[in-house]
Chains A and B, each alone.
Chain A
Amino acid sequence: MSAPVIEVSGLAHRFKETVAVDGISFSVPAGQIFSFLGPNGAGKSTTINVLTTLLAVQQGSVKVAGFDVAEQPEEVRRSIGIVFQEETLDRDLTVWEILEFHGNLYSMPRGERRARIDEMIRLVELEKKRDVLVKHLSGGMKRRLEIARGLMTRPKVLFLDEPTLGLDPQSRIHVWDYIRQVNREGTTIFLTTHYMDEADSLSDRISIIDHGKIIASGTSRELKDALGQDIISLETGDDVNAAELLRTLPEVKDVRPGMRGFSVTITGNGAACLPPVLERLKGAGISVAAVNVKRPTLDDVFVHFTGREIRG
């Protein structure tokens, strides 16, 4: 495994009385896509702000691209690209001007800057929009432009804070494609998201953060495996008694209440377990309104580790 490009140890950050980040540690090897997954307010943005030098380190140590964020912020800034959560484009500049401004802000020499602008505009397929004002671009195009801007200076790490927030499904998939392409070309990606499918589809590794703490880390597969196997969701006439009843079945690993009804984690094949489960309920005279068997998703992983739905 390559050397870590991000190393965080014991990072804590508070805003007055509120603890936003509560002693987290993780590292990201070079060339990976790393996702920070968690609900809004979990501490994702605070973490990304500290990692990108926008907030001072209060406690713990952070190294990005080999530089200490507290000691060498200038060097860190030179080595990273950022796509912020909210739109940070001047609506009254053109696509080309946005990139020209950014290149100048990073003191890129003229020749290199101009060549890179053309390259970036091609990468995110905005050739036809080159001289169009940002205010006339669609949401997806603006995001692509921001990604292009983040990549202008050939960063070692690209930070993406909720990169597809508010985009339509088609634009999201488009943005994912760019992220993968950029990563294939060697840029390490640090991504925060509260979309499970986004983390699942893009990431090499995922850390789930909630209430300022990392509560689980691993690959998407590892996280799902940690959960057990399949899940049967049930809605019955008497959820409380049904749950108690099923808990005694040998195949049942865990029973948890869900948004509606409850869910049963099965060790082994969920579909094969269905007949004995339904048999048992029928025997106890409990009516079944709805049944669903599914492979665990990251949503389930999240519910498992936090006890609640991410969008709740």
Chain B
Amino acid sequence: MGHQYLAIYWRDMLRFVRFRALLFSSLVQPALWMAFFGIAMTSSFDRLSSLAPVPEGAIAIPYLTFMAAGVMALTTLFTTLFGGMGLLFDKLWGLMREILASPAPRSHILFGISLSGITKSFIQVIIIMAFGLLLGVQFFVGKGPAAIALSVTGILLFVAVFAIGFLLLSSTIAITMESPESMQAVMTLLSLPLFFVSNALYPAESFPPFLQAATALNPLTYLVTGIRYFAIGPDFFALGHHYVYTATDVFSAFLALAFFAAVMFSLALRTINHAVVN
């Protein structure tokens, strides 16, 4: 395999770093979530959930810790959902022609975009983790450096495979769309149910059955599960719900995300292979 995808990656990262506003907002935005939404909600949620009795043997965690994992997942979702936008601009401004007319296989466009999207998500997730720990989030409690490194690796693995799926979905939509406005509209429409019908900010276990079923179809749920498992642990109590994750739960969550990524890849590849320059 050639290395043309590295050219795509290099250019995308160059633009990311060059647009100061973009760089700044993508780094600060998740921190703001944590600082404002997190702290505000924590004070009221923790008051309410202190009413619920903590079962024997379960460790109650503050809401800030619970939602920090959710914010990491949501940030990854939003970043990757718009990660294909660059392709739409490339298409509209004619820049895509240079790439499509080159001998580089079209799959490399997807590889390059995925790689840069993953990089950006990693940077964001690490910032949220660091900022969260600064705010008093109880991640990696009782773990030594090696165990922490392992947990972070686990989190990043989940983020990466989730990011691939949504970056490729976003790329597919970008290649199909004709204007940034319509892409924006589709993305907003998509992001709302993904955002709310998930366990990112509150337990999905208290949803009515049909919403719970929808949650099971939402990739975000699996990402949140993975992050909480590695960051908080397999057994904790939050918002009146006792969470117990087995290794099988986590592994099947990972498989679900990998399946989603694989489906999105074949969809994106099909779309880009049929893309015609006008």
Contact = CB atoms under 8 A, between A and B. Distances in A.
Nearest to A55: B276
Interface stretch (A86-94, A117-125, A168-176, A215-223): A86-94
A18 interface: no
A52 B103 CA distance: 11
Interface in A123-182: 149
A90 B95 contact: yes
Contacts of A97: 11, 14
Nearest to B90: A90
Contact of B97 (A88, A92, A104, A106): A88
A77 interface: yes
A77 B14 CA distance: 26
Contacts, number: 65
B94 A86 contact: yes
B98 A105 contact: yes
B102 interface: yes
Interface string B254-278: 0000000000000000000000110
A107 interface: yes
A84 B11 contact: no
A106 B98 CA distance: 11
Interface in A73-97: 74, 77-78, 82, 84, 86-90, 92-93, 97
Contacts of B10: 101, 104
A106 B3 CA distance: 9
A77 B101 contact: yes
Contacts of B14: 93, 97
B94 A105 contact: no
A49 interface: yes
Nearest to A91: B93
Given A49-B277, A54-B277, A55-B276, A105 B104 contact: yes
Interface residues of A, number: 25
Contacts of A265: none
Contacts of B4: 104-105, 107
Interface in B1-53: 2-4, 6-7, 10-11, 14-15, 18-19
A105 B7 contact: yes
B7 A104 contact: yes
A102 B99 CA distance: 8
Given A77-B103, A106-B103, A107-B3, A101 B11 contact: yes
Contacts of A77: 101-103
A90 B101 contact: no
Nearest to B3: A107
Contacts of B277: 49, 54-55
B127 interface: no
B100 interface: yes
Q: B7, B19, B103: which has the most chain A beta carbons within 10 Å? A: B103
Nearest to B9: A104
A149 B14 CA distance: 19
Contacts of B100: 54
B95 A78 contact: no
Given A88-B95, A90-B95, A82 B101 contact: yes
A53 interface: yes
A90 B7 CA distance: 13
Contacts of A87: 94
Contacts of B102: 77, 102, 105-106
A105 B15 contact: no
Contacts of A52: 101
A149 B97 CA distance: 13
Interface in B227-268: none
A88 B2 CA distance: 24
Contact of B98 (A74, A78, A102): A102
Q: B11, B95, B98: which has the most chain A beta carbons within 10 Å? A: B98
A87 B90 CA distance: 12
A7 to B, nearest CB: 20
Interface string A192-209: 000000000000000000
Given A104-B10, A107-B2, A92 B15 contact: yes
A84 B104 contact: no
Given A84-B94, A87-B94, A90-B11, A54 B101 contact: yes
A54 B97 contact: yes
Contacts of B95: 88-90
23 contacts: A49-B277, A54-B97, A54-B100, A55-B276, A84-B97, A87-B94, A88-B93, A92-B19, A101-B7, A101-B10, A102-B98, A104-B3, A104-B6, A104-B7, A104-B10, A105-B98, A105-B99, A105-B102, A105-B104, A106-B104, A107-B2, A107-B4, A149-B98
Interface of B: 2-4, 6-7, 10-11, 14-15, 18-19, 93-95, 97-104, 276-277
What are the 5 A-B residue pairs with the smallest beta carbon separation, nearest first?
A: A104-B7, A77-B103, A88-B94, A105-B102, A54-B277
Interface of A: 49, 52-55, 74, 77-78, 82, 84, 86-90, 92-93, 97, 101-102, 104-107, 149
Given A105-B98, A107-B103, 6 more contacts: A77-B101, A78-B103, A84-B97, A101-B7, A107-B4, A149-B98
